[in-house]
């Protein structure tokens, strides 16, 4: 579950980032974006979303395709206001990959009671663009109260710094056994 990150001046960063948490979600298996949003609209009490962007749908942000599989999401923050290019570089590091919109939607669905102190941002490798607009990221935000959670989309301006505090997701790739061939 999400924990409130410690103040920036009391933590140790490695290569400009700090890992906030690692979470697991199940994707695929026919659980489409439209089904996830329909269920999210039915949430009540402290799990109810205050706002869901109407552009989040299966046509624009497809999910649920393929067999069910486990995805490990690592949430990280920077020690400065990062640009999208910096976020992309961290997602492309060895052992990692970009998250998908489906990862973010399933995270919201799996952890509906988490109080979001900081905005959680999903920036896929190939983000959605409407009519030549800037790429769109998926945002899960709140003010620390579960009842203030929102599921939004916003433009990812490539050279703009994302103001602190916010955290970004990247997929941890499974470790595989490689055979080393001596030449």
Residue 180 — pLDDT band, cuts 50, 70, 90? Answer: low
Highest mean pLDDT among 44-48, 64-68, 151-155: 64-68
- Answer whether residue 53 is part of any domain: yes
Spatial neighbors of 173 by CB under 8 A, at least 6 apart, are: 95, 96, 97
- Answer whether residue 4 is part of any domain: no
- Answer whether residue 62 is part of any domain: yes
- Answer whether residue 91 is part of any domain: yes
- Answer whether residue 182 is part of any domain: no
Quote the pLDDT of residue 35: 92
Spatial neighbors of 101 by CB under 8 A, at least 6 apart, are: 33, 56, 61, 62, 63, 122, 124, 128, 138
- Answer whether residue 3 is part of any domain: no
- Answer whether residue 177 is part of any domain: no
Looking up tokens 């067999």 gives 67
3-class SS at 160?
Answer: coil
For the stretch 89-121, pLDDT in tens is 999 999 999 999 899 999 988 988 777 778 888
- Answer whether residue 90 is part of any domain: yes
Give the count of domains, the chain.
1
* C-alpha span between 133 and 164 (Å, rounded): 24
Domain that holds residue 116: 10-172
């Amino acid at each position: 579950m999400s924990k409130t990150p410690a103040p920036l001046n009391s933590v140790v960063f490695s290569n400009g980032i700090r890992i906030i948490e690692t979470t697991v979600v199940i994707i695929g298996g026919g659980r489409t974006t439209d089904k996830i949003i329909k269920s999210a609209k039915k949430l009540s009490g402290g799990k109810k979303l205050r706002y869901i962007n109407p552009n989040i749908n299966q046509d624009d942000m497809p999910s649920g395709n393929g067999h069910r599989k486990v995805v490990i999401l690592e949430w990280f923050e920077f020690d400065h206001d990062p640009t999208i290019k910096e976020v992309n570089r961290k997602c492309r590091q060895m052992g990692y990959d970009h998250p998908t919109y489906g990862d973010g939607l399933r995270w919201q669905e799996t952890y509906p009671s988490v109080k979001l102190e900081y905005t959680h941002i999903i920036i896929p490798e190939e983000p959605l663009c409407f009519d030549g607009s800037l790429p769109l990221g998926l945002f899960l935000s709140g003010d620390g109260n579960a009842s203030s959670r929102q599921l939004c989309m916003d433009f990812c301006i490539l050279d703009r710094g994302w103001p602190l505090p916010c955290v970004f997701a990247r997929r941890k790739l499974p470790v595989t056994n490689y055979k080393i061939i001596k030449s």
